[in-house]
Copies of this chain bind each other. A is one copy, B any other.
């Protein structure tokens, strides 16, 4: 293993000079900087992570706690994980992957051992039991999702309420009067994950403003569940001409079932999906969709945690930041004017 002392010897300077060249924390003459840097390259020196963490009391690692459940659309989770990782690298940080089945003890373990300087948590429940732990330990954290009480934390999430409202507006603009909202399975609502309720609330509020008659039905995302949900909707409101789907798993089945039941999209009924653009493009017809950027979510969370770490390191109290990303409606081929009354 090549140490800082090896580099120092090779460059003919002291090890502190090497350290300062690398950290940039004090002025170094151009000449020695060059010499040191070429020694670093030549010897293939990488500072020992453990020693650095010990001496500087910073690990340059952030932990990312991911959910195990699969009722969140998995590709989105992965996209977030990857964008977090890449954004962290930009700050010289690495990412430690933790599963949230470790729960509050996981938070204690990571914080207590100094393994990570901060924590990014996905899939936070509104009254998550990890949050008080975070607070009591003084651990820096950024949530992807919103919590009831976010004091001492930073949060970022999609603005689901606006997403819901965009759906209602679009359908109303097209002249639809009876619309249905196909949501997540009831488990998601019971867990108080927040995003499901917020979307629905936004949709409901705008739908009422615009004078839409609407229906909300939960749906597990399987074919059978979607079939049942659709059947109930059509039984209760045969005149429904607009559908909003939030559960990604229900999209394919819904389109198939509508076709099977003799309804053509978008001539007879319109469908809006709340999902990634990439997914919306995969169907036939290509779906009008409301989307927020998963990448952006990860990037912002990293910025937030970095800001907090920097503040703490400077002896300041970190600011509790809260960001809502505005979603975008992209009109494709699955929505059209409401059919004339027959």
Contact = CB atoms under 8 A, between A and B. Distances in A.
Contacts of A45: 112
A215 B75 CA distance: 31
Interface in A25-53: 44-53
Q: How many copies does the complex hold?
A: 2
A61 interface: yes
A85 B97 contact: yes
Interface stretch (A171-179, A199-207, A276-284): A276-284
A81 interface: yes
Given A54-B54, A94-B96, A222-B281, 10 more contacts: A1-B114, A45-B112, A48-B114, A50-B52, A50-B59, A53-B53, A81-B97, A82-B99, A96-B96, A223-B282
Interface stretch (A7-15, A184-192, A248-256): A248-256
A296 to B, nearest CB: 17
B98 A94 contact: yes
A95 B108 CA distance: 17
Contacts of A95: 96-97
A70 B109 CA distance: 33
A66 interface: yes
A68 B75 CA distance: 12
A79 B75 CA distance: 11
A96 B61 contact: yes
Nearest to A223: B284
Interface string A63-99: 0101010100011011101100110010000111111
Contacts of A150: none
Given A53-B50, A108-B44, A109-B46, A99 B85 contact: yes
Given A77-B78, A96-B94, A49 B223 contact: no
Query: Which of A81, A97, A101, A253 lies at the interface centre, i.e. has the most chain B CB atoms within 10 A of its CB?
Result: A97
A113 interface: yes
A75 B70 CA distance: 9
Contacts of A320: none
A115 interface: yes
A102 interface: yes
Nearest to A55: B50
